[in-house]
A and B are shown apart, each in its own frame.
Chain A
Amino acid sequence: MNKLLKNIIRFILFILVQVFVLFQVKPLHQFIVPYLYFLYILWLPFNTPRAGLALVGFAFGLSLDYFTKTPGLHAAACTLIAYLRPFLINILIRQEGAELNYRSPSITSMGLTPYATYIFILTFIHNGYLVFLEWLDFGTFSYFIGKVLATTGVSMLLIFVVELLFFRKEKFRTNTA
């Protein structure tokens, strides 16, 4: 399937799943909010230009914001992780040129440990920034710390399940192909 078309469908699916499935789940505790939607940004192809990444992150976050009626909240967090993404990939990539041989970040293209680290750091930053912006508005310090840890845990669990369920086959690309 066309790469652009695939990413557009993914964009819509992630937003709809987050709004109509994950946000509708009865919360076990006020800290436990299942955030998964930002995985879209982590899955974007390696060769997306950096300015493009930030712009896509902004548009993606803002579309979710219009559903949750918090304009700017998720957009700010998504723009931040979209901006930090290339730096992290540069540090974590296993060998020289892996970002040329594979399309997008995954276990196959980056290796399990680097990929897990990549996911964990960006999840933590995303949730931390999101809850920090909420905390500016209301809540106590224990609310901030508790919610960052709880949402990060839940997000990691959800991403783990999604990676198992929807295993993305990554073809090795060479110059000759």
Chain B
Amino acid sequence: MRNIFLFIRRYFNFLFFLVLQIIALSFLFRYNKFHEAAFMGVANEITGRVGAQYSNVEYYFHLKKTNEALASQNETLLNALKDNIQSPDTASIFVKDTLSFDSLGNNARKYIWRLARVVNKSVSLQNNYLTIHRGEKQGVTKDMGVTGPDGAVGIVVNTSENFAVVMTILNRRSSISAKLKRTGEITKIHWDGDSPEFVTMTNLPVSVPVAKGDSVITSGYSLAFPPGILIGTIDEVVKDPASNFYRLKVKTATNFYNVEYVYVVDNMQAEEQKKLEEATRRNQ
């Protein structure tokens, strides 16, 4: 017993170092798997608040670009209004159904969009995250999709009371179900860590006709994003000679350097769908 104490005293520094190292590594590997870590909630509140202070200053430098993005999004939305359509032929009627309740009085609304301000972001790392000033108290929960005025941004991975952390598509762990707008093929989009302006689309067979400039949109298969949100446009088409698949370089629609406002998309039917799919998987 005495020898054990002597041993601990002799090598206290080394043992202390080992303990700290093990704590750090267990934090890291646990977070890599589950996006959870000790004190993460408190830390989110603090780093979020610091980031909010900083972004108040930085905000002015991006004001022009933010305005342009929001204005062009307004333009798109104005063009989608039903008042824009008027036919001289009174026999034809234009019907645009905006009812959110079906005939039985059930709420048929699937998506709710909530505005959030970006308070902290990184683009230069291999796993990039955004912090937004909206959290559990304001209705943000894990796994919700996040879009910007120009296109898809990422998925919420962690929330605290007033802040939420978003894993952007510029993240090694990110994988988003995507669709070619023109032909309708559905594959996945991920990031190879190279440039913050490009993501990669793989597993698309060479038989599909693709061209530079084609739009890539969200597929609607994922629970997080509504279908048809722009992810980016094809910038370069590379045929992989080893397999029969394309490797497409996609320019992201969102400019991650100056994204200031984002929308958190709440899929209200996600719970039911998830439950059903999980139950099916369990039964097989």
Q: Which residues of A contact B (CB under 8 A)?
A: 16, 19-20, 23-27, 30, 33, 50-51, 54-55, 57-58, 61-62, 65-73, 75-76, 79-80, 83, 133-134, 137-139, 143
Consensus secondary structure, chain B interface: helix
Check A55 against B127 for contact (C-beta < 8 Å). Answer: no
Check A27 against B24 for contact (C-beta < 8 Å). Answer: no
Check B24 against A62 for contact (C-beta < 8 Å). Answer: yes
Check B13 against A69 for contact (C-beta < 8 Å). Answer: no
In the assembled complex, which residues on chain A have CB atoms less than 8 Å from the CB atom of B12?
51
Q: Which residues of B contact A (CB under 8 A)?
A: 12-14, 16-17, 20-21, 23-29, 31-32, 37-40, 43-44, 46-47, 50-51, 54, 120, 122-127, 129, 158, 165, 172, 193-196, 257
Check B28 against A133 for contact (C-beta < 8 Å). Answer: yes
Residue of A nearest to B15 (CB): A51
In the assembled complex, which residues on chain A have CB atoms less than 8 Å from the CB atom of B37?
71-72
Check B28 against A76 for contact (C-beta < 8 Å). Answer: yes
Check A69 against B124 for contact (C-beta < 8 Å). Answer: no
With A54-B16, A79-B21, A79-B24 already in contact, the answer to whether A137 and B172 are too (CB < 8 A) is: yes
Give the shortest distance, in Å, between A90 (CB) and chain B (any CB): 13
Check B26 against A72 for contact (C-beta < 8 Å). Answer: yes
Within 8 Å by CB of A66, from B20, B47, B127, lies B47
Residue of A nearest to B14 (CB): A83
Check B43 against A66 for contact (C-beta < 8 Å). Answer: yes
Within 8 Å by CB of B158, from A50, A54, A69, A70, lies A69
In the assembled complex, which residues on chain A have CB atoms less than 8 Å from the CB atom of B172?
137-138
With A76-B28, A137-B32 already in contact, the answer to whether A70 and B194 are too (CB < 8 A) is: no
Within 8 Å by CB of B127, from A16, A27, A69, A76, lies A69
With A26-B257, A137-B32, A137-B172 already in contact, the answer to whether A66 and B21 are too (CB < 8 A) is: no
In the complex the two chains form, what is the Cα distance from A66 to B46 in whole Å? 9
Within 8 Å by CB of B13, from A24, A50, A67, A133, lies A50
Check B16 against A67 for contact (C-beta < 8 Å). Answer: no
In the assembled complex, which residues on chain B have CB atoms less than 8 Å from the CB atom of A25?
124
With A51-B13, A66-B47, A67-B47 already in contact, the answer to whether A138 and B120 are too (CB < 8 A) is: no
Check B193 against A30 for contact (C-beta < 8 Å). Answer: yes
List 4 A-B pairs, minimum CB-CB distance, nearest first. Answer: A72-B27, A72-B28, A66-B43, A71-B37
Most buried by A among B28, B32, B165: B28
With A55-B20, A75-B27, A79-B20 already in contact, the answer to whether A69 and B129 are too (CB < 8 A) is: yes
In the assembled complex, which residues on chain B have CB atoms less than 8 Å from the CB atom of A66?
39-40, 43-44, 46-47
In the complex the two chains form, what is the Cα distance from A58 to B17 in whole Å? 9
